[in-house]
Chain A
């Protein structure tokens, strides 16, 4: 029987992170994945990621995937694809099924489970009809297979997954007829909602999907309004013509293998449901079995990667490859990074839940529970938005330039008003006019006197929330620059309909610049000239439909 020091299950960000770090310190690692390509879900993430410099923030997901594969390769990680783990038995014996035909036994001193998450389904009459699919499935179709799942798509769920995939469906050339959200407000980041709303996609909050109809596949969907207690209000049904319904209502940790291995589970709703308990080394209650990524709580790719790296160094330390002092230092750094990612009102619930996981894995009484809840309420000052806020609200934030500064000429306008873990704009600015201090989740602050309105920050912002306003473009016209990631591109000199933050038409505008600079990484910056009075209203143009 073959013996390895570490078996990592799952070659997504968490598994790659664990394999890379353990290898770096000398551990012999075998990384297995049941799919025929490594990277987990990273290669279908075509948007620029949030995070900080260490997380390669501002880089598109698939490029981060390539980067990790390169790193794994240079660290000598052995990857075995189409390899399914069937069982984890006593004494570290594992049974594998290779390419659906060959059974192998393997012995591993340590195991890292990075099996990811599973998308939740939602049942309603008609949910089994072809054309109803998970949002992740639609994303695989458009970004990996390059096939449209349909032409008129209804998205269910306004979390980040629903918002991002709606945006990517638009980029792929589909029509998104709307986003339905049962909660009374948008549940994902406002910057993601902003991208789809300015493209004209309505978000129906306090709505649910009641039924999907069709003979052999989806032909129409019925949506309905919900009351304060989330009950359907009879008589509010609306029929929407759609051929595809995408479900993005969250994920659950994929705990099958961990459960099989005998890890102790507990329910943490903030992190997606039942998940294996773990200590601060990412070790589960089963000695020698570590967990990381979405399996240890549904979060996002950056946290998964850092948890994976933490599990990797823990394994290396436990096998004697890292001395205790060095390990303590490394571990502190990773926890620091993870805590920062879990900062701000969006991450706070998750960070409290993680604290509880650590406490319960140590079998401690959770006496702090009540105090935590009070603390939680005080710290989650997450303002809820049903739609894009008004101009007045944006102007109250430190990224929006003053009226007097706007009148002086070109200046950046940062419409980023939620505390999310992201800071590429700071590094992008050559004049150090943007600051995010002291935490990565703090709001960007614009030093309007230092800002020259150069616009380099526009393409750097993964949230596409930075614009450049030039009040003095000409004696009659102002110019507005914004990011644009659709085809076809508008033509210089052409006319377009300028729209506001909700996608509503404001005025006719002229395209004056189409900047496709290579270091903008596929984010084109469009500049339009418009009436000076529209400078605080227009933020986008009606997308140009390709008739050809």
Chain B
């Protein structure tokens, strides 16, 4: 999806520091201070995790850390709510399969 460069009320996009994050092994750029979810959506990612029983995709839903649909594996830790966690330089982000066990990932992907 797109970033909003200019806005009639909010004005021009503020200059923010660009940082690198790694999403499923691929380097992408994010802005310092933004949430992981925002960085991913801006880069076209929408399916953040797949459910344990039916392997169905889930993504950004409530945006306030309540629903846990946007959980991913961040720096090796599963169940991180990406909508309320901010990106950091070099952060490693992975799609979460089920509860985030390594075995589960190998089975599915």
Contact = CB atoms under 8 A, between A and B. Distances in A.
A65 to B, nearest CB: 14
A145 B13 contact: no
Contact of B34 (A130, A145, A486): A145
Contacts of A305: none
A35 B86 CA distance: 12
Contact of B57 (A35, A146, A216): A216
Nearest to B4: A146
A535 interface: no
B6 interface: yes
A496 interface: no
A131 B59 contact: yes
Contacts of A140: 63-64, 83
B10 A146 contact: yes
Nearest to A132: B61
A347 B62 CA distance: 27
Interface string B58-81: 111111111001000000000000
A216 B49 CA distance: 11
B41 A147 contact: yes
A140 B9 CA distance: 15
A142 B63 CA distance: 12
A173 B2 contact: yes
Contact of B8 (A119, A136, A146, A522): A522
Contacts of B56: 128
A118 B1 contact: no
B4 A148 contact: yes
A35 B8 contact: no
Interface residues of B, number: 33
B46 interface: yes
A4 interface: no
A141 B42 CA distance: 10
Contacts of B13: 146
Contacts of B26: none
Interface of B: 1-4, 6-10, 13, 34-35, 38, 41-42, 46-48, 56-66, 69, 83-84, 86
Contacts of B58: 128, 130
Contacts, number: 100
Which of B6, B8, B69 has the most CB atoms of chain A within a 10 A radius of its CB?
A: B8
Nearest to A144: B38
A389 B109 CA distance: 55
Contacts of A149: 1, 41, 60
Contacts of A60: 9
Contacts of B2: 147-148, 151, 173
Contacts of A136: 62-64
Contacts of B7: 146, 171-172, 487
18 contacts: A35-B84, A60-B9, A128-B56, A129-B59, A130-B48, A130-B58, A131-B59, A137-B63, A137-B83, A140-B83, A142-B4, A145-B35, A146-B3, A147-B38, A148-B1, A151-B2, A171-B9, A486-B8
Interface in A104-156: 118-119, 128-134, 136-138, 140-143, 145-151
Nearest to A140: B63
Contact of A134 (B47, B63, B84): B63
A147 B6 CA distance: 11
A217 B63 contact: no
Interface in A201-243: 216-217
A46 interface: yes
Contact of A130 (B3, B47, B66): B47
Given A145-B35, A147-B42, A217-B47, A171 B61 contact: no
A93 B86 CA distance: 31
A131 B83 CA distance: 14
Contacts of A173: 2, 4
B61 A134 contact: yes
Contact of A131 (B8, B35, B46, B66): B46
B63 A133 contact: yes
A130 B63 contact: no
B13 to A, nearest CB: 6
B10 A137 contact: no
Contacts of A119: 62
B35 A137 contact: no
